[in-house]
Structure 1
Amino acid sequence: MEIANMAQALQLHAQVLKSGGGGQNHNPSAEQTQQNLSKVFTFSALSPSGDLSYARLILNALQTPNSYYYNTMIRAYSDLTYPTQAISLFLAMQNIPSPTTPRPDKFTFPFVLKACSKLRRTHLGKQLHGQVLKLGLGLDMYINNALVHMYSGCGVSELALKVFDKMLERDVVSWTSIIDGLVDNDKPILAIALFEHMVDNDIEFNEATVVSVLRACADSGALSIGKKVHDLVKEKKLLNGKVSTALIDMYAKCGCIDGAKNVFNETVNKDVVTWTAMIAGLAIHGKCEEAMVLFNQMKSLEIKPDERTLTALLSACRNGHFVSEGLDCFRTMKKKYKIRPKMQHYGCVVDMLAQSGHLEDAEAFMNKIPVELDVFIWRTLIRASKTHGDVERGERLMKRLELLKFGSNDFGSYVALDNTNQRELLKTSGYSRIEIDGEVHEFTTGERENLEVEKVHEKLEEVALNLSSEGYDPKHFDLLLEIDDEDKAAELLHHSEKMAVSFGLIKTSPGATIRIVKNLRPCEDCHSFMKLVSKVYQREIIIRDHIRFHHFRNGDCSCGNFW
């Protein structure tokens, strides 16, 4: 009997109980009873329509449950969003003082490690790793794959790499797990290098591997590498919905919006994720009208948007300064689609109003947000107050921020105002990435570690001198440092995007476009610097920050100086 629904499972379980299920006789009827009980348990534990509490009752009622029951229950718990019970059952399994209780085996550990990854329980994961080695399971490929996934999920990519490097046997899951983990832990350059090693050595890869490496290309701005991956996808006939979506995202984030459109138009069966990727791509390029048109097309096909779609649409309105459309979108998500706004939605609205100069409306909206405010929302409004010359509002907001104790470790808000508050504040480390001849180079602010960087610094000095004749004067209020003006100017000169663009000037031919990806919004000085470089050196400079693209041409920027 195959179980199709919970009602059938309950009916079969009732038959098991009537027949004395759990007995230890080895006659045919007893064996059939055990098989039926196993069917009920498996359905309850693993079916999407099953009830884990019911499966757990069955497990608890068994006199001598075998390892299958424990492993299946742990597996079911590990699939939950918060799989704490998977770990609890695993620990209970080891602590039950009974010789008949099964010990953890090679089928147990992958599921417990999966739970550790979701919960980011690194310490427990290390203990499990030790136990794996003690039990002589250190060569098992499936356990090692789970260890790679666990360490990556816990943000310890160096340990994931150690496990991966020591594996004597690897499959496509092994390679995909380590590449995906490196991307998740902001190491896309290394992820790309591993994929290139796979290709060079004819190691099998699949759609999931391709999606992971395309994410790496998107994160690092590696357009030429992304195009090569696209060619491989066509050659290996790996194109499906997820790969198409990853390609759209890669082309858009690498500054090639036409490439993203081409892939989108060629995709036959588009789901909400595909539509959202294209709308988000248009958003980061500030193409609000096109994003709105696409959103309306999606609705006409009766594809229901989700919260990510609405985030993308709100981002488009913010970057395109379409205030009324953005407010309509925000109202629609609550009234029509019954989507409860999250912090990213509120943040987009505040940013949209603030950037467009509607500071009073932005503050009023912020005050009505029904959840605890993200510090970045405060920073957005404080920065916009400074940009629009509303010093009184900026100072008042800063005082409120101090009272709420956000400001004690928040560098950006103070930088956005002036240099009056001298504090030791934590600042997110800035980096910029640039692809040259198929290789991605990363620069960090103030880096001076190798000969190549020294050449970049020399070029920076030369560029700054040339720009000074065009009126370039380093702004000092973007730094919150107790140093004199000359040192402040030197510090500003070595911001990561300035180093990357100087490297681009060195390594590319005159007239070539320079593409840079950075993890933070550019400071005002860097923004002015790029405008002048585009004018003086007659270069198009395309920079993607964590919000949007900036296209610098002939001394102007596509953002209209509001970013």
Structure 2
Amino acid sequence: MEIATMAQALQLHAQVLKSGCQNPNPSTEQTQQTLHSQQNLSKLFTFSALSPSGSLSYARLILNSLQTPNSYYYNTMIRAYSDLTHPAQAISLFLAMQNPPSPSTPRPDKFTFPFVLKACSKLCQIPLGEQLHGLVWKLGFGPDMHISNALIHMYSAGGVPDLAFKVFDKMLERDVVSWTSIIDGLVDNDKPVKAIALFEHMLENDVEFNEATVVSVLRACADTGALSMGRKVHDLVKEKKLISLNGKVSTTLIDMYAKCGCIDGAKEVFSETVNKDVVTWTAMIAGLAIHGQCKEATELFDKMKGLEIKPDERTLTALLSAYRNGHMVNEGLACFRTMKKKYKIRPKMQHYGCVIGMLAQAGHLENAETFMNKIPVEPDAVLWRSLIRACQIHGDVERGERLMKHFELLKLDSNDSGAYVVHRNILVSEGKWKENGKTRALTNRKKLLKASGYSRMEINGEIYEFTTGELGHLEVEEIIGKMGEIALNLSCEGYDPKRSDLSLDDEEKAFELFHHSEKLAVSFGMIKTSPGTSIRIVKNFRPCEDCHSFMKILSKIYQRDIFLRDHVRFHHFRNGECSCGNFW
């Protein structure tokens, strides 16, 4: 009897109970009936625990009613708890196996650990996971591939990629899950360069990849701007014809091409995708938005609606980003006002952030401040920093200082140095050196260290990373020499370093400005690529005013297209202009 519904499960349970009456001297026929009853009970338990239409509580009742349950029942129950939203109960049941309340309770076996490690991963219980790791080796299960795969996932999800890699490195046998788990974990922990290197090693070892592997490595390509590697993966998918270009793969390809500065590649994949779901449409709308093709993004959203594809909260975030980047204030406000009524989507922090950014970019600072004060959630540090920065760009010093004081009183994020850096820039731009000194002393007192800015770029298949102020690169002398040459040529075209972005002495200013990561990267790109070749850079922060001006003039006098992606949008510098409209 196949079980499809809970009603059938209950019917089967009745049969089990009926046939379960025990005879002290059972005949062969009765023994067979009992065996058949036990098989049905196992089938009933498995259905209740693992089927979407089953009942987890009912499965637990069956487990509790068994006099001598074997490890299969416990393992299945732990798996069910860890798969759903009950990871703590999975661990509790495991502890009952480890410290059995009765002699009939089975001890953990090699099939138990992958499920309980998954529960640790969901609960971010890395210390417990490490104890389990030790127990695995104590019980002799260390070489087991499935347990190792679960350990890789747990350590990666817990933000300990080095331990995950140690597990991977010691594995005697690996499958596609092993490779995909470590690649995905490295990407999640901001180690995309290492993830790409591992994928190439995977190919060298002739390990067959699957859809999940492709999605993971394309995410790494998007993070690093590794366009040529992303194209290679795309070609591999098309060549082997093992993976459909629908669903997750096509969506991730769209995202990769967009984030690597090749919006035409994203459009091509989108047009070739047959069954587009809301995630695919959202990826394309978001890609157009970050490239400043905002009108096309809104037109695509209208086309999506025409096909009766219902947008989700991510779609609305992408659309509002398009309105923000396109300075389409009225349209953006109209969209925001109707999203709850029309699309049944309650605005979240990211939606409020888009509206505040949209108003601030357009210079409507008072409206942006009023809007932020009225939203039903507590604005986070990012929103405050965004509005304070807009005050700097639009020269509204008084409002910027007032917002900064309010931000300090709220103490939203005592470790956030970004708002203080912006505030210092405002003070310096107004020549308020004394006040700036006080703010700088405050950040020093609080030990608020600004996170290092870094820039990544791919040249001839190699990925390079540059950190602001870091001069350990093997070709640093050539890079600095090239930068000096570029700066001299730019000065003839009117380049004047915008030192208001820094609150340092003149000598320190000059050093800092010419050692920003994007300047190091573009100088390296000028050395390593032919004249006229486009240069693509991925940066973790927004470029400062000086770097933005530097890139604009460089694109004009050297006739280079420069694609610089920050954490908000793309800046396409061409012939002295930027696609962002000079609001970055």
TM-score above 0.5, yes or no: yes
Superposed counterparts of 1:253-264, under 5 Å: 253-264=259-270
Gaps of 5+ in 1: none
Q: Verify: 1:316 aligned to 2:337, yes or no.
A: no
> What is the TM-score with the length of structure 2 in the denominator?
0.92
Structure-1 residue corresponding to 2:278: 272
Structure-1 residue corresponding to 2:7: 7
Whole-angstrom CA distance in 1 between matches of 2:253 and 2:166: 30
Structure-2 residue corresponding to 1:487: 508
Q: 1:86 aligns with which of 86, 90, 109?
A: 90
Structure-1 residue corresponding to 2:133: 129
Structure-1 residue corresponding to 2:431: none
Superposed counterparts of 1:135-284, under 5 Å: 135-237=139-241, 238-241=243-246, 242-284=248-290
Superposed counterparts of 1:30-45, under 5 Å: 30-45=34-49
Deviation at 1:31, TM superposition (A): 2.4
Structure-1 residue corresponding to 2:392: 386
Deviation at 1:190, TM superposition (A): 1.2
Structure-1 residue corresponding to 2:454: 431
Name which of structure 1's ranges 8-17 and 250-259 shifts more when overlaid on structure 2.
Answer: 8-17
Aligned residue-pair number: 561
Distance change in 2, residues 1:99/1:477 (3 Å): farther
> What is the TM-score with the length of structure 1 in the denominator?
0.95
Residue pair 1:447, 1:453 contacting (<8 A) in 2 also = no
Secondary structure of 2:159's counterpart equals: coil
Deviation at 1:115, TM superposition (A): 1.8
Q: Verify: 1:557 aligned to 2:578, yes or no.
A: yes
Distance change in 2, residues 1:235/1:62 (3 Å): same
The aligned amino acid for 1:143 is I
Structure-1 residue corresponding to 2:350: 344
Structure-2 residue corresponding to 1:60: 64
Distance change in 2, residues 1:371/1:62 (3 Å): farther
The aligned amino acid for 1:498 is K
Whole-angstrom CA distance in 2 between matches of 1:470 and 1:492: 18
Superposed counterparts of 1:401-550, under 5 Å: 401-406=407-412, 408-418=414-424, 419=427, 420=436, 421-422=439-440, 423-424=443-444, 425-480=448-503, 483-550=504-571
Residue pair 1:407, 1:413 contacting (<8 A) in 2 also = no
Residue pair 1:415, 1:477 contacting (<8 A) in 2 also = no
Secondary structure of 1:27's counterpart equals: helix
Whole-angstrom CA distance in 2 between matches of 1:23 and 1:99: 25
Q: 1:49 aligns with which of 35, 43, 53?
A: 53
Distance change in 2, residues 1:184/1:82 (3 Å): farther
Superposed counterparts of 1:94-105, under 5 Å: 94-105=98-109
Structure-1 residue corresponding to 2:291: 285
Residue pair 1:21, 1:34 contacting (<8 A) in 2 also = no
Residue pair 1:446, 1:494 contacting (<8 A) in 2 also = yes
Gaps of 5+ in 2: 428-435
Q: 1:371 aligns with which of 348, 371, 377?
A: 377
Deviations 1:24-60 (A, max 9, x none): 9882333233223222222221112333223223222
Deviation at 1:506, TM superposition (A): 0.9
Secondary structure of 1:539's counterpart equals: coil
Name which of structure 1's ranges 365-374 and 511-520 shifts more when overlaid on structure 2.
Answer: 365-374
Deviation at 1:407, TM superposition (A): 5.8
Secondary structure of 1:129's counterpart equals: helix
Deviations 1:468-526 (A, max 9, x none): 3333333334335xx42220221122111111111101111111111101111112221
The aligned amino acid for 2:31 is N
The aligned amino acid for 2:245 is N
Distance change in 2, residues 1:369/1:169 (3 Å): same
Residue pair 2:100, 2:106 contacting (<8 A) in 1 also = no
Deviations 1:375-428 (A, max 9, x none): 100111111111112111111111110110136322211222225211122323
Residue pair 1:23, 1:30 contacting (<8 A) in 2 also = no
The root-mean-square deviation of aligned C-alpha atoms, in Å, is 2.0
Residue pair 2:97, 2:105 contacting (<8 A) in 1 also = yes
Name which of structure 1's ranges 254-263 and 118-127 shifts more when overlaid on structure 2.
Answer: 118-127
Residue pair 1:82, 1:118 contacting (<8 A) in 2 also = no
Residue pair 2:67, 2:104 contacting (<8 A) in 1 also = no
Whole-angstrom CA distance in 1 between matches of 2:413 and 2:281: 38
Name which of structure 1's ranges 285-294 and 50-59 shifts more when overlaid on structure 2.
Answer: 50-59
